[in-house]
Amino acid sequence: MATLFILLFIITLFYIAISGRLFVCLNLLIVQGILLFGVALYELKEINTVNLLIILLETLLFKAWFMPMYIKKVTNRNRIKRSVEPYVSGFNSILIVSLLIVGSLLLAFYLHNESLKISYLAAAFSGILTGLFIIVSRKEIIMHIIGYVVLENGIVLLSFSVGSHLPLAVNAGILLDILISVLIFGLFLNKISKTFKDMDISQLKSLTD
């Protein structure tokens, strides 16, 4: 059952790579949050209620509700253009993301041993690589945040792949990191929109002293 969630997670990665609309990407983040919650619930059901509560907070509340909603709110308030403008065309992105995912599958099978779960590891690497790819291949700042969140989802899966050995503190640290970064991005966007109408980072090239 958990593998099914993992496969669906990888499908959402393809969808994010190909999607031309901002809100589709945000909805996919919600889906990813729910899938991660499913994986977490399936993986850690014998662990105590505090742990479960933290995971619930992390995946459902934070990833599937707060973050997408916050980004949507910022987008609406600043009237940001809702189409994704990639440097790499959709056709090429999907090819590159497929290659990244095949690469991570190979890596996961190469690293295979008893204490690692291959499917989680593969999905984690693909999440991390796809997140990085989205960050470097899209022009909007909002898409950079989305890429960052996808990367973080990959890291969460990585923590699941080693079982419950990863200390909770590490996870909480990453979570705090993301929270702060999303908040800062939001503030940044609110400020920047007073000066510039567009959130296209290619305009930054024309900045001079």
Partner 1 sequence: MYSLLLILILSIVFPGIIVRIKSITAGRKGPAILQPMSDLIKLFRKDSVYSTSTSWVFKMAPIVSFASLIIAVLIIPFGSERGVISFQGDFIFFIYLLATGKFLMIIAALDTGSSFEGMGASREALYSMLAEPAFFVLFASYCMLTGSTSFYDMLHSLHFQSTLAIFLAFLSTYNLFQISMLENSRLPYDDPKTHLELTMVHEVMVLDYSGFDLALIQLTGHIRFVMYSMLVANLFIMPVFPMWLSVLIFAGITVFYAIAVGLAESFRARYKLRNNNKAIVILIPISILIFFGCLLIINNLY
Task: Choose which of 61, 69, 95, 180 interacts with partner 1 (CB under 8 A).
Answer: 95
Q: Is 122 in the site for partner 1 (CB under 8 A)?
A: yes
Residue 127: C-alpha distances to residues 53, 63, 105 (Å): 24, 15, 11
**Count of CA atoms in the C-beta half-sphere (13 A) of 148:** 19
Name the region of 50 (left: φ>0; alpha: ψ -120 to 50; beta: rest): alpha
Q: Which two tokens stand for residue 73?
A: 């709110």
Q: Which two tokens stand for residue 108?
A: 């996961």
Which one, 63 or 117, has the nearer CB to partner 1?
117
Q: Is 4 in the site for partner 1 (CB under 8 A)?
A: yes
Of the ranges 22-30, 48-56, 105-113, 189-197, which one interacts with partner 1 (CB under 8 A)? 105-113
Task: Choose which of 53, 61, 69, 102 interacts with partner 1 (CB under 8 A).
Answer: 102
| Residue 40 near residue 53 (C-beta atoms within 8 A) | no
Tokens 């056709």 found at: 91
Q: Is 110 in the site for partner 1 (CB under 8 A)?
A: no
Q: Is 7 in the site for partner 1 (CB under 8 A)?
A: yes
Q: Is 161 in the site for partner 1 (CB under 8 A)?
A: no
Where do contacts with partner 1 occur on this chain (CB under 8 A)?
Answer: 1-4, 7, 10-11, 14, 18, 90-91, 94-95, 97-98, 101-102, 105, 109, 112, 117-119, 122
